[in-house]
């Protein structure tokens, strides 16, 4: 009697384990399941990012479970927990904020599900995730700085530079400023005469630039931490009776559609790209993890820079 | 002298003048206004132009605060109104058509009025605390704006629409003219009719005013609706100025600036007596503060602290209790005419 019961229990456990396994691999033979938790859909940039992930997953034959956290960390944590319960193969997410991820990342680790961060970093211990795929903001700032160095390498007098910074305290604002200023330090003629925050928005970019224009009669170059502030500043410069791109040269970061259009129109002189199209790279990482190959802890998004000429050529086929 | 300093508008006006003078010291050409490109150009014009939306919202807010309420949803209404107008215009074949723009503007203001009506009904009919009733729309409204824009910035290229927030009429910014007209009309309505007195009565004691026959509920709904329409106009100005509707950021935290403008102007949050002229001064003080920060180059990391210090100083200098303690000219003298500045009554109650 006792033996029979044990055998029955064992059979039941086996059956349960079998169904559990089936659920884990998504039912398909060998198809990888990726759970992706997006920050939200707050900007055109983010939208292109979402589209890229979805399209790349389809192209790579990866089963994608997608969720939008609507800018809330608690939504994102709940989503990641549900991915752990569904036993997806890999979890990827763009963290809303930097802090507070230790617990849920440990849960994922306990469930032996590898985690990939995209676009934004966390302050948790690096052993809790496999890889961080995203832009290097310092490099973006440096790319702009390099262009400015080259543009003014023959300048004899001082070059007055205005900087429109992003949201105070945000990683892109801090790092882009750092990268840019470290580069231009090489030429003592290049001077940042005013540096104010335009909060990454067009309206603030315009308002701040309008005030700076009045306080500083001679401005040679404007560096805006993103396209939107640059676009706002262009309007302010035009209203002051000056020609953007000619009287005041403008360099920005992002390369969103409106920015590229202004670049092609000659109102911006140079843009360093901050690409949201990281879908293909993400799928490569997922496949590598699944195949047991090692992946780098930090992978930088493939990004480029655009001059006016290149922008005009790239615009017709640009995805965002 | 005492009659001058005792005037309820003396302190806000003095603060504004001091701030402008400080700017002149740092930036010598600050007050100069010239005609450039066929319109007025200068820092003062900037203050008026960028201050116009805040002035409008603060005027609406003054009416609401006079009834003893508060409206936290104005920032969200700013976003919704701009988003709807730009969405309508961007869908037209000819974005420059005047009738098309008028329809878009009309719809945006109509929707703003409906939102104000909603706030007013929640407060006056459903009896929900104003701060909670309007908090609902403050949170939900930004979602509505993003729904309209589908989370993107909507760009428009429409000269007639551009006029509202970025254009000039007879060299003067059109937005400033609009704000001036609204302020003048509101001033006439509250001071040349009994409306102002009725609003103050409701703010003083809603139940008592109802018992003496004032239709307080109807007037409260009116105040919230007017406030939302003002916010709607401000939303049109802000989106028109940059030819873009930004559902995420347009009008963000503007409700707090508006409340601050009302208080700096000398209207107490407890309701009752209010002053529209003071509110306009308060809004100008806030905008001048922003422009000052940008022109004088206060480092961005310290901007908020700088603002806080100035605002604290402004509030302290307006408090008779504080002035009596610090500048004790006649020890033991009671604070000046309490009717002259309603703000301090609030301070004393809490102290």
> Chain B within 8 Å of A210 (Cβ-Cβ)?
yes
Partner residue opposite A210 with nearest CB, options B46, B244, B248: B46
**Chosen from A45, A68, A192, A196 to mutate, greatest number of chain B CBs within 10 A:** A196
Residue B317 has pLDDT above 90, yes or no: no
Distance of CA B286 to the CA centre of its chain: 10
Distance CA A69, CA B321 (A): 50
pLDDT digits (tens, 9 = 90+) for B4-32: 777 888 888 998 999 999 888 888 888 88
In a domain, A309, yes or no: no
- What pLDDT is stored for residue A24 in this prediction? 41
Closest CA to A98 of A123, A117, A73, A69: A123
- What pLDDT is stored for residue A121 in this prediction? 83
pLDDT digits (tens, 9 = 90+) for A111-125: 999 999 998 888 888
> Chain B within 8 Å of A199 (Cβ-Cβ)?
yes
- What pLDDT is stored for residue B135 in this prediction? 95
- What pLDDT is stored for residue B149 in this prediction? 87
Same domain flag for A288 and A263: no
With an 8 Å Cβ cutoff, are B242 and A202 in contact? yes
- What pLDDT is stored for residue A23 in this prediction? 40
Distance CA B331, CA B334 (A): 9
> Chain B within 8 Å of A258 (Cβ-Cβ)?
yes
Classify A307 in phi/psi space as left (phi over 0), alpha (psi -120 to 50) or beta: beta
**Chosen from B37, B79, B175, B244 to mutate, greatest number of chain A CBs within 10 A:** B244
Residue A305 has pLDDT above 50, yes or no: yes
Q: CATH number of the domain that A70 lies in?
A: 3.40.50.2300
| Sheet with A159-165, side-by-side order of all strands | A190-197, A159-165, A221-224, A249-254, A270-273, A305-307
Distance CA A108, CA A115 (A): 7
Chain B residue with the nearest C-alpha to that of A41:
B151
In a domain, A88, yes or no: yes
Residue A87 has pLDDT above 90, yes or no: yes
pLDDT digits (tens, 9 = 90+) for B243-269: 999 888 888 889 999 999 999 998 999
In a domain, A307, yes or no: no
Q: Looking at A6-20, A25-39, B32-46, B136-150, which range is the least confident one? A: A6-20
* Spatial CB neighbours of B97, under 8 Å, sequence gap ≥ 6: B160
Distance CA A276, CA A119 (A): 8
In this structure, are strands A249-254 and A159-165 parallel, antiparallel, or unpaired? unpaired
Same domain flag for A108 and A207: no
Look at residues A274, A293, A315 and tell me which one is the last residue of a structural domain. Answer: A274
Distance CA A74, CA B323 (A): 48
Distance CA A96, CA A76 (A): 8
Same domain flag for A88 and A128: yes
Distance CA B235, CA B83 (A): 8
Distance CA A2, CA B81 (A): 75
For the record, the structure tokens of B144 come out as 């509505």
Mean pLDDT of B258-286: 93
Q: How many CB pairs under 8 A join A and B?
A: 87
In a domain, A222, yes or no: yes
- What pLDDT is stored for residue B304 in this prediction? 87
* Extended beta strands in chain B, E state: 34-36, 39-41, 154-155, 168-169, 172-173, 244-245
Residue A320 has pLDDT above 90, yes or no: no
> With b meaning 16 or more CB within 10 Å and e meaning fewer, what string describes A170-180?
bbbbbbbbebb
In a domain, A316, yes or no: no
Same domain flag for A249 and A286: no
Residue B152: what are its φ and ψ, rounded to 5°? -105, 165
In a domain, A314, yes or no: no
- What pLDDT is stored for residue A6 in this prediction? 58
Cα dihedral B80→B82→B84→B86 (10° resolution): -150
pLDDT digits (tens, 9 = 90+) for B102-160: 999 999 999 999 999 999 999 999 999 999 999 999 999 988 998 998 877 888 999 99
Distance CA A262, CA A268 (A): 6
- What pLDDT is stored for residue B330 in this prediction? 56
- How many independent structural domains does chain A possess? 2
Same domain flag for A250 and A166: yes
Same domain flag for A163 and A256: yes
- What pLDDT is stored for residue A90 in this prediction? 95
User: What does the mean pLDDT of chain B come to?
Assistant: 88
pLDDT band at A279, cuts 50/70/90? very high
pLDDT band at B348, cuts 50/70/90? very low
Query: In order of start, what are the domains of chain B with their CATH numbers?
Result: 38-302 (1.10.3470)
User: What does the mean pLDDT of chain A come to?
Assistant: 87
With an 8 Å Cβ cutoff, are B46 and A211 in contact? yes
CB A276 within 8 Å of CB A46: yes
- What pLDDT is stored for residue A2 in this prediction? 57
- What pLDDT is stored for residue A105 in this prediction? 94
Q: Which residues are B169's β-sheet partners?
A: B172
Same domain flag for A57 and A152: no
Task: Compute the nearest-CA separation of B161 from chain A (Å).
Answer: 15
Long-range CB contact pairs, A233-236, < 8 A, 24+: A233/A164, A233/A198, A233/A205, A233/A206, A233/A208, A233/A209, A234/A262, A234/A267, A234/A268, A235/A206, A235/B166, A235/B242, A235/B243, A236/A205, A236/A206, A236/A207, A236/A209, A236/A210
What 3-state DSSP class applies to A198? coil
| Residue B318 burial (10 A CB sphere; 0-12, 13-18, 19+) | buried
Task: Compute the nearest-CA separation of B93 from chain A (Å).
Answer: 20
Mean pLDDT of A284-299: 92
The helices-and-strands tally (H runs, E runs) of chain A is 11, 12
Q: Which residues are A35's β-sheet partners?
A: A65, A91
- What pLDDT is stored for residue A22 in this prediction? 38
Sign, Cα dihedral of A115, A119, A124, A130 = positive
**Chosen from B249, B299, B301 to mutate, greatest number of chain A CBs within 10 A:** B249
Q: Looking at A42-56, A269-283, B255-269, which range is the least confident one? A: A42-56
Confidence (pTM): 0.82
Range of the domain at A256: 137-274
Same domain flag for A148 and A268: yes
Same domain flag for A72 and A201: no
Same domain flag for A289 and A214: no
Same domain flag for A185 and A214: yes
pLDDT band at A18, cuts 50/70/90? very low
Distance CA B17, CA B11 (A): 10
Distance CA B29, CA B189 (A): 39
Same domain flag for A59 and A159: no
Write the DSSP string, B207-230.
HHHHHTT--HHHHHHHHHHHHHHH
In a domain, A190, yes or no: yes
User: What is the complex's ipTM, to 2 decimals?
Assistant: 0.84
> Chain A within 8 Å of B151 (Cβ-Cβ)?
yes
CB A253 within 8 Å of CB A205: no
Q: Looking at A68-72, A190-194, B94-98, B230-234, which range is the least confident one? A: A68-72
> Chain B within 8 Å of A121 (Cβ-Cβ)?
no
In a domain, A10, yes or no: no
User: Greatest CA span in chain B, whole angstroms?
Assistant: 73
Closest CA to B84 of B253, B251, B247, B252: B247
For the record, the structure tokens of B20 come out as 């402008």
Percentage of the residues of chain A whose pLDDT score is greater than 70: 90
pLDDT band at A199, cuts 50/70/90? confident
């Amino acid at each position: 009697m006792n033996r029979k019961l044990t055998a029955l229990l064992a059979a039941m456990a086996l059956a349960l384990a079998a169904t559990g396994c089936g659920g884990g691999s998504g039912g398909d033979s060998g198809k990888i399941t990726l759970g992706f938790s997006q920050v939200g859909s707050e900007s055109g940039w983010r939208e292109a990012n979402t589209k890229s992930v979805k399209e790349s997953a389809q192209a790579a034959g990866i089963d994608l479970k997608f969720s939008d956290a609507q800018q809330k960390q608690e939504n994102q944590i709940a989503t990641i927990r549900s991915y752990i319960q569904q036993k997806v193969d890999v979890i990827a997410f763009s963290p809303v904020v930097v802090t507070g991820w230790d617990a849920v990342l440990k849960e994922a680790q306990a469930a032996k599900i590898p985690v990939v961060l995209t676009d934004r970093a966390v302050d948790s211990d690096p052993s809790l995730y496999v890889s961080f795929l995203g832009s290097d903001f310092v490099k973006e700032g440096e790319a702009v700085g390099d262009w400015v160095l080259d543009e003014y390498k023959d300048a004899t007098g001082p070059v007055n530079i205005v900087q429109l910074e992003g949201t105070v305290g945000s990683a892109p604002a801090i790092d882009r400023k750092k990268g840019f200023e470290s580069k231009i330090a090489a030429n003592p003629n290049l001077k940042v005469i005013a540096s104010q925050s335009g909060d990454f928005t067009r309206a603030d970019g315009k308002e701040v630039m309008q005030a700076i224009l009045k306080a500083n009669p001679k401005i040679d170059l404007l560096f805006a931490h993103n396209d939107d502030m640059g676009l706002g500043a262009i309007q302010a410069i035009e209203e002051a009776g000056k020609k953007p791109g000619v009287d005041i040269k403008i360099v920005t970061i992002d390369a969103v559609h409106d920015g590229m259009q202004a670049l092609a129109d000659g109102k911006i002189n140079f843009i360093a790209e901050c690409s949201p199209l990281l879908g293909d790279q993400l799928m490569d990482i997922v496949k590598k993890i699944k195949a047991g190959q090692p992946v780098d802890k930090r992978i930088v998004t493939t990004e480029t820079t655009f001059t006016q000429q290149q922008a005009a050529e790239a615009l017709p086929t640009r995805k965002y | 002298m005492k009659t001058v300093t005792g005037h309820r508008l003396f302190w806000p006006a003095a603060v504004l003048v001091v701030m402008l003078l400080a700017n002149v010291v740092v930036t010598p050409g600050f007050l100069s206004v010239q005609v450039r490109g066929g319109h007025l150009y200068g820092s003062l014009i900037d203050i008026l132009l960028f201050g116009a939306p805040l002035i409008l919202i603060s005027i609406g807010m003054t009416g609401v605060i006079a009834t003893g309420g508060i409206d936290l949803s104005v920032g969200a209404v700013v976003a919704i109104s701009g988003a709807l107008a730009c969405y309508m215009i961007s869908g037209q074949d000819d974005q420059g058509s005047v009738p098309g723009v008028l329809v878009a503007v009309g719809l945006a203001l109509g929707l703003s009025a409906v939102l104000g009506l909603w706030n007013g009904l929640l407060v006056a009919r459903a009896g929900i605390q104003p701060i909670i009733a309007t908090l609902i729309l403050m949170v939900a409204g930004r979602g509505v704006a993003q729904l309209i824009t589908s989370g993107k910035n909507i760009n428009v290229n429409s000269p007639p629409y551009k006029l509202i927030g970025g254009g000039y009429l007879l060299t003067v910014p059109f937005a400033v003219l609009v704000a001036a007209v609204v302020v003048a009309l509101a001033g006439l309505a509250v001071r040349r009719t009994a409306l102002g007195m009725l609003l103050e009565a409701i703010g003083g004691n809603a139940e008592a005013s109802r018992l003496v026959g004032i239709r307080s509920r109807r007037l409260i709904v009116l105040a919230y609706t007017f406030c939302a329409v003002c916010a709607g106009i401000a939303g049109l100005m802000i989106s028109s100025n940059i030819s873009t509707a930004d559902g995420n950021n347009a009008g963000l935290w503007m409700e707090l600036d508006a409340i601050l403008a009302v208080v700096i102007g000398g209207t107490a949050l407890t309701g009752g007596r209010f002053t529209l002229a003071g509110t306009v001064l308060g809004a100008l003080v806030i905008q001048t503060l922003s422009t000052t920060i940008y022109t004088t180059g206060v480092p961005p990391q310290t901007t908020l602290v700088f603002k806080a210090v100035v605002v604290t100083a402004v509030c302290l200098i307006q408090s008779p209790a504080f002035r009596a303690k610090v500048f004790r000219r006649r020890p033991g003298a009671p604070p000046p005419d309490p009717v002259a500045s309603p703000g301090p009554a609030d301070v004393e109650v809490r102290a």
